[in-house]
Amino acid sequence: MTARRLLAATILMGSAAVSFPALAADLVVYDALDFSATVVKAFEAKTGLTVDVVEPGSTGETLGKIAAEGTNPQFDIVWLDGSAVFERMLQDKVLQPVPDATYAATKYSQLGTSLIPASHACLPTSASTTAIEVNTAKVAPADLPKAWSDLPKFAGFVAAKDPNLSGPAYQFVAGLFQTDGAEAGKTILKDALTNKAMAGLASGGKVTKALLTGEAKVGINQDSGIYAKIASGEPLTAVYPAEGSVALPSCLGIGANTKHMEAVAKFITYVTSPEGQAQMQNGDDTDFWLIPIIEGVAAKPGRKTDIPFVVLDDKTASAHETEWKQWYKDTFVQ
């Protein structure tokens, strides 16, 4: 997505040119989500406010841009998948805590309420999770995996994303280590991800492509992307392991240095309203296949929502982020 800018107007009057300074947007939003442009367009039309959307690329690339800005972040809002990364940004003073009153004014469902971080590092806006993506043309129903520990049965044919590039992938790794224990989780991944050509993919789309070309039979992938492909007719299914799948909220974080809290509050109010939630589902790409976490808002037809969720311990995941990402890179990434 191209960042939209308000450019300075230049008016020619006779032989003289008069230049006017660029007008600043009311909000600057950094994001790595498919639905952000759709939501922003509707928000601008409703409120008359202007929003400058900056999308560097993947979650990893967006976090890289934020890291380069250090303690002087240039955004008012950052909107990404995953909660652990927001915990770290709060600790690094890149974000400020979400006010209590903002949570109180949001009509969360039970799932939404469970995703509110104790630190108030971010405001959850929707949810998805990581599932085992299976090519049903390659794996018979009787052979479907039932747990993460079944993945080694498909060794050599398992596709996965690199958590150094993907926020959802790190949320999965931290959730697996929380559920099964770090050492047991590492063993599962070592025994399953034996084909390094498919162990450090950059995106969920590449995981799905590996399954559809037959290079992989199963993948570790964000379930919203799986449902988007199922809806388009691809022979895929999402399997939720018996031990649970770690919840992956899309979250809004508030920049530590924002001078636009009134506009930030209006944007949050819109995103968490039924109208805003409808706009978040007004498309066919991966992120549009979300689980709403606002009372009275339904998911797209066919999108499974009764999932055995595990809620991530963000503080632990944040504390080990550098260590676990480096371990993954050293072990699996070519």
In this predicted model, what pLDDT tens digit does every residue of 252-282 receive, in sequence order?
999 999 999 999 999 999 999 999 999 999 9
Q: What is the pLDDT of residue 17?
A: 33
Q: What mean pLDDT do residues 161-189 have?
A: 95
174 three-state secondary structure: helix
Q: What is the pLDDT of residue 169?
A: 95
Q: What's the residue count for the chain?
A: 334
What does the alpha-carbon distance between residue 176 and residue 23 come to, in Å, rounded to a whole number?
47
- Provide the whole-model pTM: 0.87
Q: What mean pLDDT do residues 298-319 have?
A: 94
Q: What mean pLDDT do residues 98-110 have?
A: 97
Q: Which helix (H) or strand (E) holds 128?
A: strand 123-135
The mean-pLDDT minimum among 2-16, 144-158, 281-295 falls in 2-16
- Are both 10-127+249-303 and 129-246+319-332 of the same fold? yes
Query: What is the fold, at CATH topology level, of the domain defined by 129-246+319-332?
Result: D-Maltodextrin-Binding Protein; domain 2 (3.40.190)
Provide the residue type at 211 as one letter. Answer: L
Question: Are β-strands 245-255 and 123-135 bridged in parallel, bridged antiparallel, or unpaired?
Answer: antiparallel
Confidence check: pLDDT of 19 > 90: no
What does the alpha-carbon distance between residue 287 and residue 224 come to, in Å, rounded to a whole number?
6
Q: What is the pLDDT of residue 2?
A: 36
Confidence check: pLDDT of 137 > 60: yes
Confidence check: pLDDT of 91 > 70: yes
Q: If we measure between CA atoms, which residue out of 240, 156, 169, 246 comes closest to residue 200? A: 169
Confidence check: pLDDT of 185 > 90: yes
Confidence check: pLDDT of 241 > 50: yes
Confidence check: pLDDT of 20 > 70: no
Q: Which tops the pLDDT comparison, 10 or 101?
A: 101
Confidence check: pLDDT of 177 > 90: yes
Q: What is the pLDDT of residue 24?
A: 83
334 pLDDT band, cuts 50/70/90, is confident
226 pLDDT band, cuts 50/70/90, is very high
Q: What is the pLDDT of residue 321?
A: 94
266 three-state secondary structure: helix
Domain boundaries in the chain? 10-127+249-303, 129-246+319-332
* CATH 3.40.190.10 correct for 10-127+249-303: yes
Q: Which two structure tokens, joined as six digits, stand for 162?
A: 């690199």
Q: If we measure between CA atoms, which residue out of 95, 1, 4 comes closest to residue 57? A: 1
Confidence check: pLDDT of 14 > 90: no
Q: What mean pLDDT do residues 287-310 have?
A: 95
121 pLDDT band, cuts 50/70/90, is very high
94 pLDDT band, cuts 50/70/90, is very high
Q: What is the pLDDT of residue 23?
A: 53
Q: If we measure between CA atoms, which residue out of 223, 217, 228 comes closest to residue 245? A: 223
Q: Which tops the pLDDT comparison, 14 or 188?
A: 188
